[in-house]
């Protein structure tokens, strides 16, 4: 595949969606063809699954069914949007991808990071991002919210620490695929760093 798959991850209040939009705009301005998308969602059926999962009336949704629905929505998204765009040589920028499932369902719901990763690798036929940009929120602000309190597996602070540990580990073991950046900077400063990191990737890819 000749395109590039870039994913933004980060918790509530990290500014992830703003940064994804900024990168898309910058890449388009430089003449690149970019698909901006998000998860859960990104296709008609995936958006329906999104409504189903996020509907507060569906609180009885079991943890495993929730993980399967996220994976089903991702399978749709990859099959119909992400992979075809990459095959056309385009850049895909997605707001969240399978690390969100590993974190929220695997760690948050206690289903196991490895099992949730395997499920999602199956769902996507092994499609991994070329680069995952993680907006890192220090523990003292914007504690991660994981669904509704009655379904919490871990206390917010512990969850937050687990998420940070996960990304620190990923960034340390796989630095060419992960870019961790502190969310405690101005929007412009973060956007500039992200842009430089993506430019490096584009140069390697050329
Ligand atoms: P959304 O409104 O898109 O929130 P955000 O701005 O935080 O991205 O809601 C997505 C929610 O779904 C968010 O709380 C994280 C959760 N989620 C999972 O639990 N697993 C997943 O695989 C994905 C993609 C999202």
Q: Is the dihedral of CA 132, 70, 50, 78 positive or negative?
A: positive
Residues with CB under 6 A from ligand 1: 12, 17, 39-40, 70, 96, 100-101, 104-105
pLDDT tens per residue, range 110-146: 999 999 999 999 999 999 999 999 999 876 554 444 4
Q: Looking at ligand 1, which atom is closest to the CA of residue 11? A: 7
187-205 and 16-29 helices, crossing angle to 10°: 50
Helix locations, 78-146, DSSP H: 83-87, 98-101, 113-123
- pLDDT, residue 164, reads 86
Q: Looking at ligand 1, which atom is closest to the CA of residue 104? A: 19
Domain count across the chain: 1
pTM exceeds 0.85? yes
pLDDT tens per residue, range 5-23: 999 999 878 899 999 999 9
To test the ligand 1 pocket, which listed residue (96, 110, 113) has its Cβ within 8 A of the most ligand atoms? 96
Its domain, for residue 113, covers 4-205
- pLDDT, residue 154, reads 65
Q: What are residue 93's DSSP bridge partners?
A: 6, 36
- pLDDT, residue 157, reads 80
- pLDDT, residue 201, reads 96
| CATH number of the domain bearing residue 172 | 3.40.50.300
Taking 70 as the pLDDT cut, the residues of the chain under it are 1, 139-154
């Amino acid at each position: 595949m000749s395109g590039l798959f870039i994913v933004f991850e980060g918790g509530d209040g990290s500014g992830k969606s703003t940064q994804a939009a900024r990168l898309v705009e910058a890449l388009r301005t430089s003449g690149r063809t970019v698909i901006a998308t998000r998860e859960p969602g990104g296709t008609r059926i995936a958006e329906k699954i999104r409504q189903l999962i996020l509907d507060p009336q569906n609180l009885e949704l079991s943890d495993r069914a929730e993980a399967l629905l996220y994976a089903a929505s991702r399978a749709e998204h990859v099959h119909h949007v992400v992979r075809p765009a990459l095959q056309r040589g385009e850049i895909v920028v997605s707001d969240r991808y399978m690390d969100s499932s590993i974190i929220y369902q695997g760690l948050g719901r206690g289903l196991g990071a490895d099992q949730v990763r395997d499920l999602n690798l199956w769902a996507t036929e092994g499609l991994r991002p070329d680069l995952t940009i993680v907006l890192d929120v220090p523990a003292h602000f914007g504690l991660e919210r994981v669904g509704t309190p009655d379904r919490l597996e871990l206390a917010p602070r512990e969850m937050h620490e687990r998420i940070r540990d996960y990304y620190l580990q990923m960034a340390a073991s796989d630095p060419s695929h992960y870019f961790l950046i502190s969310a405690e900077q101005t929007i412009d400063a973060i956007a500039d760093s992200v842009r430089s990191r993506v430019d490096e990737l584009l140069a390697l890819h050329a």
